[in-house]
Amino acid sequence: MPPLVRDTIAKFIENEGHRVDVSPLDEEGGITEILFRTRGQVFSITTYENNPAIYTISTAYEVPEWARESRQNADILRQVELDHPDVRFVLAHDGALFVATSEEEPGSPEAFTRAFWDTVGRVREAGSHCVERILDRSESKAAADKFISSFMKGER
């Protein structure tokens, strides 16, 4: 009997030096979430025993409270998706965070582990790009608001 997909992936991540937290999401369906941390960021891998060819990899980023303008941020997520077409972004918790997700179809657990850190890096890069864009836009808007406010007061 071949090893469970979740065990193969969890063991790989552990062998690479990282603690893992393995949580079955759907025992009957053979769906499992594996959590691990790297470079200060928690990543979630979803494995499917019924289909060892596909995997989901996700990570969440907190949006600073002062930058939580949901409509604008939703627009930014859509724009960044154009630059990173293999990563999807979803706002969650009333805009307090967004989740970056990549659905991978490497074909086998071995193929998934071969490209594992590249995939993690790709999702991280896309997520960081999003954070930068959200912060840039919020800071620009804050600066513009400050300028307009000063102008209206006749200080400029």
Q: Is 153 in the site for other proteins (CB under 8 A)?
A: no
Residues numbered 24 to 83 that lie near other proteins (CB under 8 A) are 36-40, 42
Q: Measured between alpha carbons, how far is residue 139 from residues 6, 11, 70, 92, 154 in Å?
A: 42, 43, 15, 22, 23
**145 near other proteins (CB under 8 A):** no
Report the nearest approach of other proteins to the CB of residue 68 (Å): 25
Answer yes or no whether residue 14 interacts with other proteins by CB under 8 A. Answer: yes
Q: Which is nearer to other proteins, 27 or 118 (CB)?
A: 118
> b/e string for 94-112 if b means 16 or more Cβ within 10 A?
ebeebbbbbebebeebeeb
132 forms part of the interface with other proteins (CB under 8 A): no
> Which amino acid is residue 100, in one-letter code?
A
Contact status: 18 vs other proteins (CB under 8 A): yes
> By rule CB under 8 A, what string of x and - marks binding of each residue 110-129 to other proteins?
-------x--x---------
